[in-house]
Each structure stands twice: as C-alpha cells, then as structure tokens.
Amino acid sequence: MSIKLAIAPIAWTNDDLPELGKENTFEQCISEMALAGFTGTEIGNKYPKDPEVLKSYLAPRGLSVASAWFSALLTTKPYEETKEAFIKHRDFLHAMGAKVIVVSEQGHSIQGQMDTPVFKEKPIFSEEDWKLLTTGLEKLGEVAAEKDMKIVYHHHMGTGVQTTAEIDRLMKETDPNKVSLLFDTGHLVFSGENPIEVYRAHKDRIFHIHFKDIREAKMAEVKENESSFLTGVKEGVFTVPGDGMIDFAPIWEEIEKDHYSGWIVVEAEQDPAKANPFIYAQNARNYIRDITKL
C-alpha cells in the first residue's frame, strides 16, 4: 500500500458538536478534500450509509475510505452489545475497501461531556476495566480478521487510554496479532506525551496514523481554565499540521525510517466558521508535501 494521504471530515462538520459546520454539505466536504490534494477520507455522520451510494460520490473525486471511528463500550456494557454494533461497522468499512477499523473505548469517557474538565476528571480504569478492555479488544480483533481487517486502537483525550503508560499497558496486555495501534500526534502532545517515544516503542503495532497539530496557547488555556475536551475543540486547541506547536519533521523521519505502510490522515477538529476547512486542508497538504515529499 505504501503511504496514502487522507483527511477527516471533522474539519467541515463535527459529529460531536453538530453546531460546528452544520451549514457545510457532504458534497462540499468531499469536493474540497479532493481539490486540496487528498486521496482518502474517514467517515462522518453526513456521509451516505449505503456503500454503493457512497462509492458513487467518492469515486469521481478520486477518494477512498481510509477508516471510520467505532465507539466500544467494553468496560460498561455486555460484550455482545459492542460486538453486534462492531460487525455492522466492520461490514460497511469492508464494503468500502478499508483495511483498518478505528476503535476507541468510550466506557467511562468524558470526551463528549461539555462541562467536565478533561484533565482534572480524566477516567482511570480499574483492574476489572483493564481486563474487560483487553479481552474484549482481542475478541473484536478476531471478528475484524474474519474480513482480513485489523482494529487500530485510538488513544484519546478524556478516556482511560490517553497517556504513554496507558498505551504501553494496552499494548503489553493484548495480542499483537489481534490488536494494533493508531498513532495520533495531537492527542499525544495534548496529553503531555512525547510522540516520537511512543512511535519508537510501538512502531511494529502502528497501522494507522493521524496527523493533528496543537495550538500551544489554547492548550494552556484548557489546563488553566479546567475546560472540557469539547470546549477546547471549540476554542481552537487543534489545528492542521504546520499551523501549531508540533514539529512534524522528526516524526516523519521515524515514520519513513520504519517503512510505514498505510494511511496518514490529517485531522483537525475546529470551528469551520473561524478556520475555513478548505484553506486549512490546502495548507496542511502543502506542509506535508514540504516535509515528506509525498
């Protein structure tokens, strides 16, 4: 596969904050993705749910589906409930030609709570939670393998797997043949982690990458004001590569040295009324071209 570049629709319309980008249509979103020079997309709520209909929109624009987010509730719901929803999600992505499934555990998560401080109230998994999570993920990995697909776990702000130590534990306690990792630069830096260290530690498990940047001043405000994750998003803590505090050149060196093969997805949820998504997509594409030659 080598490396392909995608961009997430969350810059145009935000599924967690529907008021952000409610005026932007699905057709505008995918057209501007293609115009900006990307060949892949992740999936948003405005996308058609029928694979053939979605293909009819994406194919003329030269776009493929890289993956899509799946919310697991392995720590708070019976496994069978998550499995049932996962199979529907898997089958849709398989029909779209995707090879990986983005999975994030949302049991105990505060990422969707508007008034809960993302740092002060970060959930900490109990030993029972960890057992439910690791065994459940391995089962989901087996279900994904039925379609020759992988699950890639998304460490995420406001969840029980956010920090380097939590990522390390998840990787240590799961079978590498069943559970892989999504590497997200923005969530690591926001959490206070070193993305290069995380990449080096788990490069053999990384099969999907999100390039997301951080506005340092906005991140400081989130901490100082004890803001929620979604408040941080609305205030602009995230931005595209090249517009924030992260130097992607050394990160790219690690990725290139490792001969990574798969998608790199630009993802930067922010208010499209403040940050024109097409302009930011173009800027991100130009920056990535400059540092990677892709």
The pLDDT tens digits for 213-272 are: 999 999 999 999 999 999 999 999 999 999 999 999 999 999 999 999 999 999 999 999
Task: Tell me: pLDDT of 82 over 90.
Answer: yes
Share of the chain above pLDDT 70, in %: 100
160-180 pLDDT, tens digit each:
999 999 999 999 999 999 999
pLDDT given at position 85: 98
pLDDT given at position 229: 98
pLDDT given at position 155: 98
Q: Which CATH superfamily is 4-292 part of? A: Divalent-metal-dependent TIM barrel enzymes (3.20.20.150)
pLDDT given at position 1: 64
Mean pLDDT of the chain: 98
Asked if 232 and 258 count as a contact pair (C-beta separation under 8 A), the reply is no
CA proximity to 174, closest of 126, 134, 133, 141: 134
Rounded to an integer, the average pLDDT of 77-89 is 98
pLDDT given at position 19: 95
pLDDT given at position 73: 98
How do the domains of the chain map onto residue ranges?
Answer: 4-292
Name every residue whose Cβ is closer than 8 Å to that of residue 106 and which is 6 or more positions away in sequence. Answer: 71, 72, 73, 112, 159
Tokens of 96: 């779209």
Rounded to an integer, the average pLDDT of 135-158 is 98
23-80 pLDDT, tens digit each:
999 999 999 999 999 999 999 999 999 999 999 999 999 999 999 999 999 999 999 9
pLDDT given at position 172: 98
CA proximity to 38, closest of 270, 275, 264: 264
266 φ, ψ (degrees, to nearest 5): -75, 130
| pLDDT range class, residue 193, cuts 50, 70, 90 | very high
